[in-house]
């Protein structure tokens, strides 16, 4: 696994997007507990089948309801390392929330995205304040090396899982910042660029190497990449 330490990525602190408030702000602790306790913990839960990343939604909600925020965040991240941003940018009304059984009962569906945001945001805050990692870096090194093209959400998540398995994961990004659409193309009432960069920094700290300003086919050829890496 690469031991390179990526410099912490930052953006200008006075961006105009900061003036745009969240459309769905972070739940307070009481709001999260009340909402989590409404979940029926359905057997064969339709919300899971509707989630493209297959997060065990009733399991993470139950952990919020019992005050186990770190456990809840782990359930989310084990299925989806980008669980923080997806909790905020996914069209949940068409996915998990749209599939919640409460819709058929003419009750308000469980606010799954907001609960997901609550668990992941609180867990990441705790990681910063205690220095205790949710997913400690893997000390076992594999001989394998994987190159990933583009630092969008799919590459970031894939690289994080590889790094956690001890595989050297190197991302090549032609722009100056990682995050792809999350960084450049989400409406700021949902998610700020700063949040995307913070999430990317969190991913990189698991042992992922990021090379920015490198365009495949221009700065390095695909053939060279295929030659140098076990998988691309
Ligand atoms: S369908 Fe709704 S009530 Fe059932 S487990 Fe999923 S979120 Fe909870």
Read off the CATH number of the domain in which 106 is found: 1.10.1060.10
**Phi/psi of residue 184, each to 5°?**
-110, -20
pLDDT at 89: 96
> What range defines the domain where residue 89 resides?
23-130
* Dist. CA 172–CA 232, nearest whole Å: 11
Into how many domains does the chain fold? 2
Residues with CB under 6 A from ligand 1: 39-42, 45-47, 57-58, 100-102, 110, 112
Per-block mean pLDDT, blocks of 10 residues, the chain (232 long):
60 83 96 98 97 98 98 98 97 97 97 98 96 88 94 97 96 95 94 95 95 96 96 97
Please indicate, yes or no, whether residues 54 and 124 belong to a single structural domain of this protein: yes
Q: Last residue of a domain, which of 130, 147, 162? A: 130
Domain harbouring 214, CATH code: 3.50.50.60
**Phi/psi of residue 91, each to 5°?**
-75, 70
**Domain assignment present for 7:** no
Please indicate, yes or no, whether residues 88 and 114 belong to a single structural domain of this protein: yes
Q: Last residue of a domain, which of 96, 130, 164? A: 130
**Domain assignment present for 1:** no
For residue 36, the CA-to-ligand 1 centroid distance in Å is 10
pLDDT at 17: 85
pLDDT at 113: 98
For residue 96, the CA-to-ligand 1 centroid distance in Å is 8
pLDDT at 51: 98
pLDDT at 204: 96
pLDDT at 1: 37
Q: In this structure, is the dihedral angle defined by the CA atoms of residues 144, 134, 201 and 53, taken in order, positive or negative?
A: positive
141-158 as b/e, with b when 16 or more CB fall inside 10 Å? eeeebbbbbbbbbebbbb
With a cut of 0.90, is the ipTM above it?
A: yes
pLDDT at 3: 41
């Amino acid at each position: 696994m690469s031991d390179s330490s990526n410099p912490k990525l930052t953006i200008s602190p006075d961006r105009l997007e900061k003036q745009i408030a969240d459309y769905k702000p972070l739940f307070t602790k009481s709001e999260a507990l009340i909402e989590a306790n409404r979940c029926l913990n359905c057997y064969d839960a339709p919300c899971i089948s509707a989630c493209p990343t297959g997060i065990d939604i009733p399991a993470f909600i139950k952990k919020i309801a019992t005050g186990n925020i770190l456990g809840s965040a782990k359930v989310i991240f084990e299925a989806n390392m980008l669980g923080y941003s997806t909790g905020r940018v996914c069209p949940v009304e068409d996915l998990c929330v749209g599939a919640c059984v409460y819709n058929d009962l003419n009750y308000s569906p469980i606010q799954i995205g907001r609960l997901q945001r609550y668990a992941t945001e609180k867990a990441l805050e705790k990681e910063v304040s205690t220095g205790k990692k949710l997913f400690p870096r893997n000390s076992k090194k594999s001989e394998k090396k994987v190159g990933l093209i583009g630092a969008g959400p799919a590459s970031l998540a894939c690289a994080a899982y590889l790094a956690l398995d001890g595989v050297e994961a190197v991302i090549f990004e032609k722009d100056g910042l990682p995050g792809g659409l999350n960084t450049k193309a989400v409406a700021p009432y949902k998610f700020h660029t700063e949040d995307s960069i913070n999430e990317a920094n969190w991913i990189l700290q698991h042992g992922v190497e990021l090379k920015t300003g490198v365009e495949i086919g221009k700065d390095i050829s695909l053939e060279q990449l295929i030659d140098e890496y076990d998988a691309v």
